[in-house]
Structure 1
Amino acid sequence: MTGHIDPTRAQFDAFKALDRDEPCEMLNLVRLRDIAQYPQGHEQAGSPLTGAEAYRLYGQHSGPVLARVGGAIVWRGEYRTTLAGPEGDHWDHVFVARYPTAHAFLAMVTDPDYQRAVVHRQAAVQDSRLIRCAPAATGEVFG
């Protein structure tokens, strides 16, 4: 099964076409590989690192960039089950990252330190969803 790891050009263009000045909250759903798959020529290529270990490296190296652009993980949950969705679906990481603006997110993903860190994410992730949201009022009812 081929997973969704990086955005397609069309998805990234749609992201960039939205208001870049509004706050940006990104819902992240991440499924990890059993064994990380680094590209040929990378110092970790062929290593026995698990997807979880490679994802931890991604977090260690990308975390300072996230903080530098004003971003933070504002909610994290531990996956239990999928109530509505594909059978057998599961996620190893479920969290919301908040950025002060979409400009900040774009600054992060184009930062040279982040570019070096993201190879660990690409090696670690089997499948993912990254869903851009705008903050909205909370309340006691749906809708």
Structure 2
Amino acid sequence: MGEYTQQQGYLEPTDKSSVAMFKRQLKGEVVMLNLLRFQDVADYRNFPALKPQEPISGAAAYKKYMAHAGPILNRHGGELVFVGDGGHFYIGPSDELWDLAMLVKYPSQQVFIDFTSDPEYLAGIGHRSAALADSRLLPLSPKMP
């Protein structure tokens, strides 16, 4: 699970990427850079209990995810810092197009872990999975110059 294929982008962490993040032992705040590419039509085949009656776009499914996850994020002390329309890189691969970019701040790496393993959060994660064709999440740790 979490490996990249042509039909399915990077949607979940791999065991290897999870271990690598934990080994970093990020200190203090963690800001997660999210780059997101949506499905044209959300794919709920693995989440039938969450599937809307009528087909919806990946962007609409992601809005459902955000409506579900936002209050849980806030309860854990996390904060949505920035949300913006994506596009093509100014510097980077010219064939990569991202629909949305977000920065989400967590007080610590442990808070991120607690949030992403919260059973209430996990109950709605299917909206995210159904919405996305591809994603990148990069944990950032503040560094003093």
Return the TM-score normalized by structure 1: 0.87
Equivalence for 1:141: none
Equivalence for 2:92: 85
Structure 2: gaps (5+ residues): 1-5
1:133 maps to which of 137, 140, 143: 140
Equivalence for 1:19: 25
Paired residues for 1:34-49 under 5 Å: 34-40=40-46, 42-43=48-49, 44=51, 47-49=54-56
Structure showing the higher strand proportion among its residues = 2
Contact in 2 for aligned 1:99/1:105 (Cα 8 Å): yes
Equivalence for 1:7: 13
The AA in structure 2 aligned to 1:38 is Y
The count of residues paired between Structure 1 and Structure 2 equals 138
Secondary structure at the counterpart of residue 48 of structure 1: coil
Contact in 2 for aligned 1:38/1:119 (Cα 8 Å): yes
Equivalence for 1:56: 63
CA distance in 1, matches of 2:79, 2:130: 23
Return the TM-score normalized by structure 2: 0.86
Sequence identity of aligned pairs in percent?
Answer: 33
Q: CA RMSD in A?
A: 1.9
Contact in 1 for aligned 2:47/2:126 (Cα 8 Å): no
Shift of 1:81: 3.0
